[in-house]
Amino acid sequence: MITIKSKKEIEEMKEACKLTALVHKKLQENIRPGISTYELDKIAENFIRGNGGIPAQKGYDPKIKGVPPFPCSICTSINDEVIHGIPSKSVILKEGDIISIDLVSYKNGFNGDAARTYIVGKEKSKEHVRLLDVTKQAFFEGIKYAVKGNRIGDISHAIGQYIEKNGFSVVREFQGHGIGRQMHEDPGIPNYGKAGKGARIEPGMTLAIEPMVIMGKPDILELDDGWTIITEDGTPAAHYENTILITEKEPEILTLL
């Protein structure tokens, strides 16, 4: 069931979303060659808790047989890891790596969800920069259609068309979602699809829209940890996500400062 938030609920949810944006800013300041993803995870957890929030991903149980609850506060996916990478003391960032960080802050009974992909250090290949630019812009192409009276498929279609027009592949097995008191709510928001399909978009809906883009072929694999998703051909991937609010006019992005 799609939930429509009241004005009071929206104001409360905005605090969780602002906290998520501030965590990303804090992490961006600390991403550098030589730091471990474990250290980034601790920076994020301490910042969230220090600002009255809870890292919603820590202990998140997908309720899938054989898959343990997520053990950390953020997802750190490096190079050919698409999403859900698990932070570790043994994973040290190197010059030129690309790292996608997905995190959810819980505050006031609501969740704020956002993902960013960063290039580590100063060595930035043109191919990586273009991958990140297209992934980010795909989000903005999608939310042009996140307006009252349109359908979810209009967002999905715009995202997928933009990604493929630029020569990259869309991750089809994972998607965006509604968000609010629960981390994942209806509706599901694929990053591809037909315009004019899906649920009608209404003011008060809060959505996490998140293009996931692969430089090479679209095929993916799941690692034995039950969480980490990688590209089958070993090419890099990127992820960009914000929580947005549907209004009477243009959508409002809640997880940007």
Say what the pTM is. Answer: 0.97
Packing angle of the helix pair 37-50, 7-30 (nearest 10 deg): 140
Q: How far apart are CA 188 and CA 175, in angstroms?
A: 7
Instruction: Give how far Cα 255 sits from Cα of 233, 245, 252, Å.
Output: 32, 10, 9
User: What pLDDT is stored for residue 151 in this prediction?
Assistant: 98
Q: Cβ–Cβ contacts within 10 Å for residue 147, how many?
A: 17
In a domain, 16, yes or no: yes
Within a domain: residue 196? yes
Q: What is the pLDDT of residue 252?
A: 98
Residue 21 in domain: yes
The residue segments making up the domain with residue 54 are: 7-253
Question: Which whole-number Å values give the CA distances from 179 to 64, 105, 109, 161, in the listed order?
Answer: 20, 12, 12, 24
What letter represents residue 2's amino acid? I
| CATH number, residue 81 | 3.90.230.10
Distances, alpha carbon 13 to alpha carbons 8, 146, 164, 199, in Å: 9, 19, 33, 22
Q: What is the mean pLDDT of each run of 10 residues along the chain (257 residues)?
A: 97 98 98 98 98 98 93 98 98 98 98 98 96 98 98 98 98 98 98 98 98 98 97 98 98 98
pLDDT for residue 149: 97
pLDDT given at position 243: 99
Does the residue 192 lie in any domain?
yes
Distance CA 66, CA 224 (A): 10
Residue 127 confidence (pLDDT): 97
Return d(Cα 126, Cα 130) in angstroms, integer. 6
14 within a domain of the structure (yes/no): yes
Dist CA 67 CA 47 (whole Å): 28
Q: Evaluate whether residue 112 is within a structural domain.
A: yes
With CA atoms as reference, report the closest residue to 218 among 187, 174, 177.
174
- CA 212-180-134 angle, to 5 degrees, is 20
**2 occurs within a structural domain:** no
- Name the DSSP letter for residue 220: E
Domain-embedded: residue 247: yes
- Dump strand ranges (E) for 141-256: 169-170, 176-178, 185-189, 206-209, 212-214, 220-222, 229-231, 237-239, 242-245, 252-253
Tell me how many domains the chain contains.
1
Q: Which residues pair with 209 in a beta bridge?
A: 242
